[in-house]
A and B are shown apart, each in its own frame.
Chain A
Amino acid sequence: MAGISKTSIARKVAMALSGLFLVLFLAQHFTINFTSVVSPSTFNEISHFMGTNFVVQAILQPILIAGVVFHFVMGFILDIRNRKARSVSYAKFNGGANAPWVSRNMIISGIVVLAFLGLHFYDFWIPELIHKYVETHPDDPFRYYDETVAKFAGDPIRTGLYAFAFVFLMLHLLHGFGSSFQTMGVNNKYSGAINIFTKAFAIVIPMGFVFIAIFHYFNNL
């Protein structure tokens, strides 16, 4: 296996695996967030568990952060290498004639999602760290719903930014999720079903996140 990590296919497989890991996280995150629409108490209960459980905080969270960082760093590395592979550009390149926009512009949709993560961390993760480790408040299992809703209530710009970012996440997933199976070598009689599932996931989950943000905005007017 010597040298495998340096080849183009190995890098692509690593990219695909980290992407699939993040897709799993996305499904879990959406499921938890959706409970805020149907049952605030359930949302508080699950959020408290996630925020205080040792395995989640000490093991799963660092793995998740590593996965996110790896996916973005490797994305930029691959993009730089790909640009070097065509040192002289075409004067006229009709890319739209043979490939969809989403597949040709993963770096753009990825950068928008990365910028959104900055906003998302500023909104939720950093305040959570300050709450737990800097200000050292007493444990409050009922604060999560109110804190989440407060971010969107009366703030159409933030709600709009979240919706905008999730549209780009949808575009990223529309190509990336299905593409990861091809990179892993999966192209067989099940590929049609996989394609339908990945496309459905790519639309339903990000649009579900948009729905949650809009729901809390209008629910608190």
Chain B
Amino acid sequence: MKLKLKVWRQEDAQDKGGFQNYDVDGIDGDMSFLEMMDVLNNNLVNEGIDPVEFDHDCREGICGSCSLQINGEPHGPDRRITTCQLHMRKFKDGDEIVIEPFRATAFPVIKDLVIDRSAFDRIQHAGGYISVNTSGNTQDANSIPIEKQDADDSFYAATCIGCGACVAACKNASAMLFTSAKVSQFALLPQGEVEAHERVINMVNQMDAEGFGNCTNTGACYVECPKGISLENIARLNREYLSASVFS
């Protein structure tokens, strides 16, 4: 398969950046998108050109490192996958593929396709934890009965890998799906009740401080989320926030 790539190149955060066109040949349909990027970079290195910087780590859909806006969609045209799980069979010989970094004011470009997603870390630091006494007589978490549905919902919320596709897909660059998942995974469990009010207020305040947009319930985040984090979490975040604002 031969492809025409239109790739965003940017030297550093201060550089204005722009698109560069590259042709790649010999792409197999069974390759992952990142392997196609590896082929491109091998070609560029052989030609004495700086390779394209892009984030990647586990390459099995777990770590959330690989980002990339591919032909106008986060992680490309497929659903419930990350970029490393996108296969080249989704494209046809001769296709032009536009590859950009995730765009959000809160996700500044570091170089080429690599973005700074530490805004998510700071939201987590603001309240995405429970304080547990680890003095040696800590109660075993399994000794606290939890309803099956709550346990399941909490687990599904916790499957968020923080990739940022929700922000990238949202026309407002809103981080509500991410924040709601991180709030929900604790809000549904008794272990999370102690700091519930403080947690949601601090995390929402941090989310706003980072410069993410407002949620307008388009649902694009859910559609593009590789883990299918549900919009119910956003409604739960809204409830938790309103409750915390009134009662704390």
Residues of chain A whose beta carbon lies under 8 Å from any beta carbon of chain B: 1, 3-4, 6-13, 78, 81-82, 84-95, 97-100, 103-104, 106, 175, 179, 182-187
**Residues of the B chain whose Cβ atoms lie less than 8 Å from the Cβ of A11:** 214
The interface residues of chain B lying within 8 Å CB-to-CB of A84 are 105, 211, 213
Would B73 and A87 count as touching, CB distance under 8 A? no
Indicate if the CB atoms of B215 and A12 lie closer than 8 Å. yes
- Interface of B, secondary structure class, is mixed
* Highest count of chain B CB atoms <10 Å: which of A12, A78, A85, A89: A85
Which B residues fall within an 8 A CB radius of A? 6, 8, 19, 69, 71-73, 77, 98, 100, 103-106, 169, 171-174, 204-205, 207-208, 211-220, 223-224, 231-232, 234-239, 241-242, 245-246
Question: A residues within 8 A CB of B211?
Answer: 84-85
CB atoms of B100 and A92 under 8 A apart:
yes
CB distance from A149 to the nearest CB of B (A): 39
| C-alpha gap A7/B223 in the complex (Å) | 26
B215 touches A90 (CB 8 A): no
For B239, list chain A residues within 8 Å (CB): 185
B226 to chain A, nearest CB (A): 13
A8 to B159 alpha-carbon distance, docked (Å): 25
Contacts of B212 in A (CB 8 A): 8, 85
Most buried by B among A91, A95, A106: A91
CA separation between A179 and B218, bound complex, in Å? 8
CA distance A31 to B110 in the complex (A): 58
Chain B nearest CB from A81 CB (Å) reads 6
* Complex contact B204–A7 (CB within 8 A): yes
Query: Which of the residues A85, A91, A94, A97 comes within 8 Å of B173, measured between beta carbons?
Result: A85
Q: Are A85 and B245 in contact (CB under 8 A)?
A: no
Cβ distance B233 to chain A, nearest Cβ, rounded Å = 9
List 5 interface pairs A-B (beta carbons < 8 Å), by A numbering: A7-B241, A8-B207, A82-B171, A85-B104, A90-B72
Which of B103, B106, B214, B241 is in CB contact (< 8 Å) with A78? Answer: B214
Of B169, B215, B216, B232, the residue contacting A187 (CB under 8 A) is: B232
- CB within 8 A of A9: which of B73, B103, B204? B204
In the complex, the chain B residue whose C-beta lies closest to that of A3 is B205
Residues of B within 8 A of A4 (CB): 245
B246 touches A9 (CB 8 A): no
Q: How far, in whole Å, are A11 and B173 apart by their CA atoms in the complex? A: 16
- Bound-state CA distance A106–B172 (Å) is 12
Cross-chain contact A94 with B73 (CB below 8 angstroms): yes
Quick one: closest A residue to B205, CB to CB?
A7
B169, A98: Cβ atoms under 8 Å? yes
Shortest Cβ distance from residue B64 to the other chain A in the assembled complex, whole angstroms: 18
